[in-house]
Amino acid sequence: MKIVVLDGYTENPGDLSWEELGKIGDLTVHDRISYVENPIIAKTVGNAEIAITNKTPISRQTIDDCPNLKLIAVLATGYNVVNYNYAKEKGIAVVNVPTYGTQIVGQYAVGLLLEICSHYQYHSDTVKAGKWENNVDWCYWDYPMIELYGKTAGIVGLGRIGQATARILKSMDMRVLGFDKFQSDAGRKVAEYVDMDTLLKKSDVIFLHCPLFQDTEGLINKDNIAKMKEGVIIINNSRGQLVVEQDLAEALNSGKVYAAGLDVVSTEPIKGDNPLLKAKNCLITPHISWAAQAARQRIMDITVNNIKEFINGNPVNVVNK
């Protein structure tokens, strides 16, 4: 059984081990091949039966050029980098890792909010630069300090990650509203379900934890922003395409949106002409909500299990049944 990893570096820059995968078959690991469609991808897969990818695309053409391919394993939850419908036509299973990052992504979302509210790193930098030492008063703050107690958070997408975020927010004595097409008892335990317009109008902070679908693409746009409170804070570590970036940039610059904390943008890596790079009060990190070592180890462990179960004839986490 030949197994090839197309872009393993982000998953494992050296602090994890590929050993368990190597026990399954003849394993070849590449740090990175290409993040855009390229004939080198099919050449790299070659005659392997199993291809493992994170963000390297596996297109219809690649599938056609790799006739031995039986399984495509995605080192992530999102699997839109694979032409999974065509893979199904060709009898190739596509599996993903659906639950590895629930807690860390929720933690990271709240962390973005806390940084916006208190600007920890900025104030630490000013102390080290001598500002406190030379200050006439016993303390100072260069940004407004925002207390979250009693404020209302709205979570768009109250699945596993949305619920994890909600639990943290409730522990901070915030009111939590949730919008999701599919309501659940678990969601009701941590949030009050409301319609989208109510969430937009009543929330002091809005978190995006929904998947990217046709009806969620561009969800944060000028029309929906107009429904929000003055000075709302927006947090997105889900998918960059949920946001119309020019509309958000204009809202930040006008003050309608007080601040945004983003771990994702529409095109990644970010392009130099992205309007959010110059927008006021916009915190952007490079899509790392998921990247704690413990979470990446879970990705590795679940992927190993996905492949073992497929080989044993009991496939799990198949996204193209």
Q: Is 37 a catalytic residue?
A: no
What one-character-per-residue DSSP string does 280-308 give? Answer: TTEEE--S-TT--HHHHHHHHHHHHHHHH
DSSP letter (8 states) at residue 278: G
Contact at 8 Å (CB) between 157 and 209?
Answer: yes
Measured CA to CA, the distance from residue 3 to residue 5 in angstroms comes to 7
Measured in degrees and rounded to the nearest 5, phi and psi for residue 275 equal: -65, -20
Active-site choice (239, 245, 296, 298):
239
| CA-CA-CA-CA torsion sign (264, 266, 268, 269) | negative
SS3 content of the chain, % helix, strand, coil (to 5): 35, 15, 45
Closest of 211, 218, 219 to residue 239, by C-alpha: 211
Give yes or no for a cis peptide into 269 (omega within 30° of 0).
yes
Active-site choice (19, 32, 188, 268):
268
Tell me the CA end-to-end span of the chain in Å, nearest whole number.
Answer: 23
Q: Is 268 a catalytic residue?
A: yes
Active-site choice (119, 123, 287, 298):
287
- Structure tokens that stand for 293 in this block: 């070592």
Q: Is 287 a catalytic residue?
A: yes
Distance (Å) of CA 302 to CA 21, 54, 115, 163, 186: 11, 14, 32, 22, 24
Active site residues: 239, 268, 287
